[in-house]
Amino acid sequence: MAQHVARLVRVLARPRQHGLLHAGAQGTGRCTAITLAAGICQTRLFRLPCGSEEAILGCLREVSWHAGILGQPVALLVPKGVDHTTLHRLLALATSGSFPDLYTEADLENIEGHLPRDSLIAKQNIKKEILLQRFCHQVRSHLHMFILIGDDQAHDQLPSTLFLRLLQLAIASTDRYEPWDQDSLVAVAQHHLKGVQSPPLDDDPLRFPDIQASVSSVAKAMALIHLSAASDQGHLCPELPLVTPKTFLDFLDTFVLQQQWMTLHIKNRAQRIQNALRNLKMLIEKHSAHTTLVFNLEEQLKGSHKSLGRLNHQLDQIKILYKRQLTECRQQENLIENLTKQRDALKAQYEAFLEQVSSSYHLPCTDPLSEGDNLS
């Protein structure tokens, strides 16, 4: 592929150079090579449509405008399958800068008005034919056509004279493109994958899969996948360019994007797991602290239970002592009550005795106990 691109770059670097790109099968990378070469040379790339004649003429007018008026190098990609009339018109455009019925009178006046001139006097003196000749010369100098043909066109469909004129036009670059073999696919895949940036290696304990360590095996697997798809496509629909070098490059880009997305996804999940483990560690530490606190509280509760039991025992002893003292007090009260009754009985007997004595001796009745109490 690099050699093909280099040849196309040489064609674009020189004026009035064209290319004839021949291939025996679809998907050989011709369009990709032209796109790369045009990007390297900073050339505007146009693709000739395969639709109506008006669309084809409109594209050719736009190409001629950029080449003749703007003076910019342009590349025109002519796809496979264009009719013979279009090929003859392209040959005339490449050799003469124009062909009949390409421009209307309005187009010619527009071209004449936009062509640069040296001065106002020169603008008035230069004839219209000279301006158009200058325009056609600019078109021939800045236009580069790349015509894609296949084996069927070269052998059967194209007339020999037309094919000979195409060969003469593209004498500077007539190249044949073959499908990429397995070694080429592996080399392209390895070069593409080696340019992928690996995840940064830091002190993070998490390690992500590094694609650089398995570039060879991955490149070989991708090459085999591409060849298998190309084989299936050749059996199912050989006319459609479904498996091409561009699709292989897109496959590589998709693989790289998917690998980067998976790496980022794994990294995010690992970060979430780390955060969860960190939170779990904090919860375990808090649980340990709470467990220690509960253990201390249980020990305090056990001590309080022991103190409560001891105090309850003391309270029971005090209650027993209280009951004993209460019983003794009641006994003392009963004793005092009995003594009081005995005293009252003795007093009554004494009073009765005094009354008897006083009545016998006619003495005043006095209460010696009362007097004794008063004296005391």
pLDDT tens-digit series, residues 189-240: 888 888 776 655 554 555 556 677 788 888 899 899 988 888 887 778 766 7
The more confidently predicted of residues 37 and 156 is: 37
Return the percentage of the chain with pLDDT > 90, whole number: 23
Calculate mean pLDDT across residues 228-255.
Answer: 81
Phi-psi region of 174 (alpha: psi -120 to 50; beta: other; left: phi over 0): beta
Q: Is the pLDDT of residue 155 over 70?
A: no
> Closest Cα partner for 27 from 254, 255, 256, 234?
234
Calculate mean pLDDT across residues 61-80.
Answer: 84
pLDDT tier at 25, thresholds 50, 70, 90:
low
How far apart CA 166 and CA 25 sit, in angstroms, is 20
Task: Please tell me the predicted confidence (pLDDT) of residue 121.
Answer: 43
Mean pLDDT for all residues in the chain: 81
Q: Is the pLDDT of residue 348 over 80?
A: yes
> Closest Cα partner for 149 from 46, 78, 51?
78
Q: Are strands 74-78 and 44-47 parallel, antiparallel or unpaired?
A: parallel
The more confidently predicted of residues 368 and 5 is: 5
Architecture of domain 1-179: 3-Layer(aba) Sandwich (3.40)
The more confidently predicted of residues 366 and 36 is: 36
Lowest mean pLDDT among 2-6, 138-142, 149-153, 160-164: 149-153
Task: Please tell me the predicted confidence (pLDDT) of residue 120.
Answer: 40
Q: Is the pLDDT of residue 18 over 70?
A: yes
Instruction: Spell 98-121 as b/e; 16+ CB within 10 A means b.
Output: bbeebbeeeebeebeeebeeeeee
In the chain, where the domains are located? 1-179
Tokens 């264009």 locate to 82
HSE-CB of 367 using CA atoms within 13 angstroms: 9
Sign of CA dihedral 22, 1, 77, 64: negative
Lowest mean pLDDT among 31-45, 65-79, 163-177: 163-177
Task: Please tell me the predicted confidence (pLDDT) of residue 208.
Answer: 58
The more confidently predicted of residues 322 and 134 is: 322
How far apart CA 105 and CA 93 sit, in angstroms, is 18
- Name, in order, each residue with C-beta under 8 angstroms of 252's C-beta and a sequence gap of 6 or more: 188, 189, 192, 193, 222
Lowest mean pLDDT among 14-28, 66-80, 287-301: 14-28
What's the pLDDT tens digit per position in 266-282?
889 999 999 999 999 99
